[in-house]
Amino acid sequence: MIYLYRILSMLAYVLLAPFVGGFLAGLDRKLSARMQGRIGPPLLQPFYDLAKLFKKQVLAVSRYQFMMVASFLTMVIGTGTLFFGGFDLLLVFFVLTTACMFFVLAATVTNSPYAELGAQRELIQMLSYEPMILLTAVGFYMVNGSFRGVDVFYTGTPAIVRLPGVFIGLLFILTIKFRKSPFDLSTSHHAHQELVKGVTTEFSGVLMGMVELSHWYENVFLLGLVALFFVSSAWWSSLLAVGAVLLVWFLEILIDNTSARVKWNHMLYSAWIVTAVCGGGNLLVLEIIRMLF
């Protein structure tokens, strides 16, 4: 029975994640506009945009771009599929890292100055968030006794109770992953960046559409990760998880609209310190408790 659920959940992710991701993107634009005192675009605007991108002529600087972007998209979908299938979290994160590497390469194969600078910043962003991502998996291992995502459904209490520090650390680096201010260094949703569009400068048409789509898939996966902290064997925990996910998404938008971009070294320092103190501290406390009792 559980296998059936897992397969269904994987299928649901592959088919529905773009709609959820697009809808969240629309919500993001609407909310951001309201926060800035504008009316904002229609809720479905991201879908219109994406459809238009896919109708455009394929323009590229280098032939390899297509190859790298397609690999990025497939790997991101693979990451989410493995995650929603309840597989080993470490495995999921390793696939994610590989996917992100393809994204960086997609930018740098063009040999474009702006894309290259954006890609180098993207690398720093990866350097900033990777440790916390790994420690998140480690945290789940320490409370569930396994790296498998599906095992959260067999625990009585949601992981957040024992992993508050890890959760805070993850929230911090999620801002980097969602490409939100103050950590939108490599590319930004807004067209007022010193690096033009940074890592995505040389993408247009279908290529840009594929990048957008990957980010929707990625965002749904990341929010799934947030939900994992709240899910347990109890039925009401799912409602709690949905509530938490929406709250986190709102928080991210709020942070995006109220903070200015920082320098890359500030991002690296702060992310690593938060990772070590909140994430590492949490794990050490857990281990000490385990050794004492």
Which residues lie near another protein (CB under 8 A)? 57-64, 66-68, 70-71, 74-75, 78, 82, 87-88, 90-91, 94-95, 97-98, 101, 104-105, 108-114, 116, 119-120, 123-124, 126-127, 130-132, 134-135, 138, 141-142, 147, 196, 201-202, 204, 206, 265, 268, 272, 275-276, 279-280, 283-284, 287, 290-291
At 286, phi and psi to the nearest 5? -55, -45
User: Which CB, 116 or 256, lies closer to another protein?
Assistant: 116
Beta carbon of residue 10, minimum distance to another protein (angstroms, whole number): 12
- Residue 252, phi-psi category: left (phi > 0), alpha (psi -120 to 50), beta (remainder): alpha
The CA distance from 128 to 265, in Å, is 10
Beta carbon of residue 269, minimum distance to another protein (angstroms, whole number): 9
Beta carbon of residue 162, minimum distance to another protein (angstroms, whole number): 14
State the angle between helix axes of 164-177 and 236-258 in degrees (0 to 180), rounded to the nearest 10. 50
Beta carbon of residue 213, minimum distance to another protein (angstroms, whole number): 15
Cα–Cα distance list, 131 to 50, 94, 106, 128, 251 (Å): 33, 12, 23, 7, 22
The 10 Å Cβ neighbour count of residue 154 is 13
User: Which CB, 159 or 244, lies closer to another protein?
Assistant: 159
User: Which CB, 32 or 71, lies closer to another protein?
Assistant: 71
The CA distance from 231 to 234, in Å, is 8
Angle, CA of 113, 130 and 87, to the nearest 5°: 120
User: Which CB, 208 or 253, lies closer to another protein?
Assistant: 208
Beta carbon of residue 183, minimum distance to another protein (angstroms, whole number): 16
